Structure 1
Amino acid sequence: MSLSLLPQDAAIAAGLSSSLSPVKASQACLSCRKQKRKCDKLLPACGLCGRMGRQCDYTTDVNTAAQPAPTAEDLAALQLRLMELENRLNRDKDQASPDSSSINPSSGGGGGGSSRPSVNTTRGSLWLPAGSSNGIGSNNSFGMMRFPSAIFLDIDCFRWAGMPIPKPNVDIPTEVYEILSRGDTVQESIAEYFRSIHTWFPIVSRKRMSLGIPLWDGGPDLAMLFMAMKLVTTQPVEGIASADCPLYTASKRFLSLLESAGTVSLLYLQGLILVTLYEFGHGIYPAAWMSVAACSRYADVIGIPSFRDSSAILGSCTTWTEAEERRRVWWGVYILDRAISLGNKKRFSAPDPMESTILPTDDTAWDEGDMTRALQQPVSTPFTSPQAPFARLCQSALLISRVTRHCTSSIRNHLSGNKHPFNLSDVTALLNDVTSFIALLDTQLSHSHDHIFFGLLAPRCLTFSALVMLLDIYSCPENLRDGPAAGAGSGPGQCGGGDYDMLLADGHFGGKSADELTMQVTAVNGLKEASLRIRDLSIDLLDAVVLPAEQKRTSPLCLDSLYCAMATLHWLWKEAGDPDIQSALEDVKRCLSRLAMRWRLAREYLGLEQHHDNTTAMTWRAAHG
């Protein structure tokens, strides 16, 4: 990788001091101390600062001194650090497949199919000094290239006209530069990301990162991805709200800056997804709800998961690994959209895939770039077909969609006065699919190595959430007849106490049909069984996350099912006072408390327990729909 930021000879010569008897300061200047460079201590400015044309500060306290804006030399130092990262990650490059050198590096950065540049001088590049311009992307240039609005106004015109998508005309903010340039921040963040988040949410190619491909044409969107990796792997700090974390606020500002600059790239979407995951995992609302919709819209813009549509925006894929990465990014959006919608039961942002849409392939084969093990199967493939953990996570999200559609349809039928609002055989078939998938995941886990545990944990928990949603809607048929929340304080089988009696007296509800009674018994018994099985899962999880390093590998996608179990067990204990149920409840609460050290969303769920007392006992999530 060629450097383009080192000071030019002319600039060096112009900045040299001509004093024959220089006056020197008693210590090195702030910039030289920060960069650990030799300082000549000249006054009023040292030789290096004079050459770089920046303010020279001899303040004693580094922490209170004014922070100068990053200069060309500062950015060159950051580039050198990233080159070291590339060298470290490139140990296996000699053993890479022959076609690896032909990978189109610009496809991750958006806007075409250019080959790998020898010298990166584009203003949109991560490595160009702030304030410089190539005369094309500058806001002050008469020939400024703008983002083509034809993508939204007339997509056919955009395609046949071959309109180019310019690089984003934006400089990396000083606050982002300061974060990424500290020591080995970038290298450590990437390594921690692949040790933790990647184990259950693999949407960034480990192989392409190890080959240094994103660095070849890295722009500000690459810096955004590095920021998001650091953000999502950072443990919460006690006393600081997750929404006030400096990393988070800097990331949000950077995302907004890139969006306003017209950034269109897979790297940007990956960064946006990871920031959304952070918001979801730490209960930052309504930001998480809005961000996942932005992810869905952005995926539509760049055309994934369709390779034909995405090629027009991102450029053509030149390797199978790159094509699989695009597919996995779309699935990441789909999964988050379904998970975030579990609690409020609002409309999804991401559309359901077609039956021909391909599931992610084997996770290990993708990590290693081994196409010989890349068995690709459509979403219509039966659950019994062997799948890797991430594909199982996709299938659990598909089940959430099926259950949600079914529940919505049943409620609408009841509200319309349909005497036969649901078909018992259809409900039974869907219930069997969900429970069979949970059993299949348990079997797959029992025959897998220990490192698969965290990969399969998220799909198991999401499927339990889908099961509770399905059973919950039938645990009290009046929830269907009058929509959710037929009576205050309703729980499975309770149907609202006094409010329900008053509705009966008014003749608002008729008698229950045989199908409704059958489903009510099945649902109440199923909720108890599911909650106790989640309790068993929570005990396994407690044993698996004793150490902080293990807690980092847990997924916030697990938390909704734990909350469902806690709420159900709380109601069961209040009904009968069974000490075994109380013990199970405490086990689930202990698990949530442990996970709250990693994801603050668990703390939010624990805080909801106080609302499951007295007259508000077991207000099911369906009551808030």
Structure 2
Amino acid sequence: MEGVDLVGVEPALHACASCKKNKRRCDKTLPSCSLCLKVGRRCTYSGSSPESHDDEIGNLRSRVQELEEHVQGLSAQATHASHRYLPSPPTRPQLHVQASFLDSDVWSSCNLSVQISNDLVPDEIAAVLGGQSDIDTIKARYFQSAHTWMPIISKIRLDRLTHRSYDVMRADMALLFLCMKLMQEVPGEQQPVPSELYVTTKRFLDSLQMKGLLTVRIVQAGLLLSVYELGHAIFPAAFMTIGLCARIGIVLGLHSKLAPQLAGKPRSWTDWEERQRVWWMTVILDRYVSIGADYRPLYTEDPSKDTLLPADDSAWDTGEMVPPERVSLSSQQTPVGPFARLAQAANLLGRVIRHCNETSLELDFVLDNFEALDQTILSLMALLSTEHSTPSTETCTATALCFRQSHSLEIPFYSC
């Protein structure tokens, strides 16, 4: 009967299927609810309990947890890949560096000792370098190739430092060997640009720079890296790397004996000559990278006439102490090494760059300066051809630099 409840029959636990489907209020009367009786439709109650969402929620929670763990794992891998060469921040302040920046007089009076870096080599870098035999091969090939025209690393000193650190190699030494290996790399047809070795080297240098590691080895490594970048036309990275070398060299005091010497006092003539050559190479590359870029100031100042040139290359390689010559070309009969001639050519190139970028001088002075520079360049080129009748890599570098600066000097002159 419609609307009549059966005595003693408890209502259903859940709404009937029709009310639940149509989202209507169900009085759960058995065997048929009032609404179904009213509209004359079949009223059915599910014999099993309604679909429970507990299992579904549990499954979702487990899936979310699995996804979170997976994302955390990927994040950890990405962090390790992008920062695997980043060392931990220094545990104590480098007081000698801070004092030299805040007050060099205080730094000199306190006689603060130069801290020796004990940063170890990351496993990834050690794997790239290989064992001691691999490092010896890298050294041998470097001194047979790049060293012949860019002698800025003392073979005697490097061998001594290498044998001293057979078991535990310092980070700056590893970076130097890494850059040596990079310069010997022969790119293949399918090799990505930039190469994996270049990216590894660049990251390692950035990590040591961020930690504040300042050594002559860092500057040497940066110079080798910049030569690689110049050779592969990786710009503006080459320009930035040379600027970094110049800044670190200035901080170390390589540019002037009057500046705070954060690299410490040279222990021998070989050590002193090596620092001279490192700074000269910085000056050379600074001018070379700025040849085609007008109105960009140089990172380094022009050497004075009293600046000492690099000593004879052969004598330096053997550790034989020889008196240095001045940068001036007044004494053309005095024989100097090929690297010294390259330094003289770079010195002239710096003067040419400043001459071409100067816009405030009167025309008469500009013409006089042009003639003086042109004659000096021609004199150096004649001297190079006289000293070395047979062309070689060592002599052609300085000659090519002379031709390039002569070209740069004459273009703006004849275009007036």
Q: Is the 8 A contact 2:119 2:170 kept in 1?
A: no
% identical equivalent positions: 34
C-alpha deviation, 1:184, in angstroms? 2.9
Q: Secondary structure at the match of 1:187?
A: helix
CA deviations over 1:3-34 (Å, ceiling 9, x no partner): xxxxxxxxxxxxxxxxxxxxxxxxxxxxxxxx
Query: Aligned match of 1:213 in 151, 161, 174?
Result: 161
Read off the aligned partner of 1:468 and give its amino acid letter: H
C-alpha deviation, 1:314, in angstroms? 1.8
When the two chains are superposed, the root-mean-square deviation of aligned CA atoms in Å is 2.6
C-alpha deviation, 1:146, in angstroms? 3.4
Query: Aligned match of 1:319 in 250, 268, 276?
Result: 268
Match of 1:394 in 2: 343
Once residues 183 and 313 of structure 1 are traced to their aligned partners in structure 2, the CA distance between those partners, rounded to angstroms, is 30
Once residues 249 and 424 of structure 1 are traced to their aligned partners in structure 2, the CA distance between those partners, rounded to angstroms, is 47
Number of aligned positions between the proteins: 327
C-alpha deviation, 1:398, in angstroms? 0.7
Q: Is the 8 A contact 2:219 2:248 kept in 1?
A: yes
Once residues 323 and 132 of structure 2 are traced to their aligned partners in structure 1, the CA distance between those partners, rounded to angstroms, is 41
Structure 1 segments of 4 or more deviating over 6 A?
137-141
Q: Whose radius of gyration is greater, 1 or 2?
A: 2
Q: Is the 8 A contact 1:173 1:254 kept in 2?
A: no
- The 5-angstrom pairing of residues 124-163 of structure 1 reads 144-146=92-94, 148-163=97-112
Q: Is the 8 A contact 1:228 1:251 kept in 2?
A: yes
1:298 aligns with 2:248: yes
Match of 1:286 in 2: 236
Gapped regions of structure 2 (runs ≥ 5): 1-76
C-alpha deviation, 1:154, in angstroms? 1.7
Gapped regions of structure 1 (runs ≥ 5): 1-65, 70-129, 131-136, 478-625
- The 5-angstrom pairing of residues 205-354 of structure 1 reads 205-210=154-159, 212-216=160-164, 218-242=169-193, 244-307=194-257, 309=259, 312-345=261-294, 346-354=296-304
C-alpha deviation, 1:400, in angstroms? 0.5
Query: Aligned match of 1:469 in 404, 408, 414?
Result: 408
C-alpha deviation, 1:156, in angstroms? 1.7
| TM-score normalised according to structure 2 size | 0.73
Once residues 236 and 106 of structure 2 are traced to their aligned partners in structure 1, the CA distance between those partners, rounded to angstroms, is 37
Once residues 323 and 183 of structure 1 are traced to their aligned partners in structure 2, the CA distance between those partners, rounded to angstroms, is 28
C-alpha deviation, 1:187, in angstroms? 1.0
Read off the aligned partner of 1:254 and give its amino acid letter: F
Read off the aligned partner of 1:287 and give its amino acid letter: A
Match of 2:308 in 1: 358
User: Larger deviation: 456-465 or 217-226?
Assistant: 217-226
Match of 1:534 in 2: none
Read off the aligned partner of 2:370 and give its amino acid letter: V
Match of 2:38 in 1: none
Query: Aligned match of 1:380 in 312, 328, 342?
Result: 328
1:196 aligns with 2:196: no
- The 5-angstrom pairing of residues 165-180 of structure 1 reads 165-168=114-117, 170-180=119-129
Relative to structure 1, the CA distance from residue 183 to residue 208 in structure 2 (aligned partners, 3 Å threshold; closer, same or farther) is closer
C-alpha deviation, 1:176, in angstroms? 0.8
Once residues 376 and 163 of structure 2 are traced to their aligned partners in structure 1, the CA distance between those partners, rounded to angstroms, is 44
Match of 1:605 in 2: none
Match of 2:377 in 1: 434
Once residues 339 and 139 of structure 1 are traced to their aligned partners in structure 2, the CA distance between those partners, rounded to angstroms, is 35
CA deviations over 1:13-63 (Å, ceiling 9, x no partner): xxxxxxxxxxxxxxxxxxxxxxxxxxxxxxxxxxxxxxxxxxxxxxxxxxx
Q: Secondary structure at the match of 1:314?
A: coil
C-alpha deviation, 1:180, in angstroms? 1.1
- The 5-angstrom pairing of residues 429-578 of structure 1 reads 429-446=372-389, 453-477=392-416
| TM-score normalised according to structure 1 size | 0.49
Read off the aligned partner of 2:372 and give its amino acid letter: A
C-alpha deviation, 1:236, in angstroms? 2.0
C-alpha deviation, 1:394, in angstroms? 0.2
Read off the aligned partner of 1:438 and give its amino acid letter: M
C-alpha deviation, 1:421, in angstroms? 5.0
Match of 2:25 in 1: none
Read off the aligned partner of 2:404 and give its amino acid letter: S
Relative to structure 1, the CA distance from residue 215 to residue 309 in structure 2 (aligned partners, 3 Å threshold; closer, same or farther) is farther
CA deviations over 1:241-266 (Å, ceiling 9, x no partner): 44x21111111111111112221111
C-alpha deviation, 1:381, in angstroms? 4.3
Read off the aligned partner of 2:336 and give its amino acid letter: Q
Q: Is the 8 A contact 1:175 1:250 kept in 2?
A: no
Once residues 214 and 254 of structure 1 are traced to their aligned partners in structure 2, the CA distance between those partners, rounded to angstroms, is 19
Relative to structure 1, the CA distance from residue 423 to residue 273 in structure 2 (aligned partners, 3 Å threshold; closer, same or farther) is closer
CA deviations over 1:443-489 (Å, ceiling 9, x no partner): 2121x6x7xx1101110001101100111111211xxxxxxxxxxxx
Relative to structure 1, the CA distance from residue 454 to residue 227 in structure 2 (aligned partners, 3 Å threshold; closer, same or farther) is same
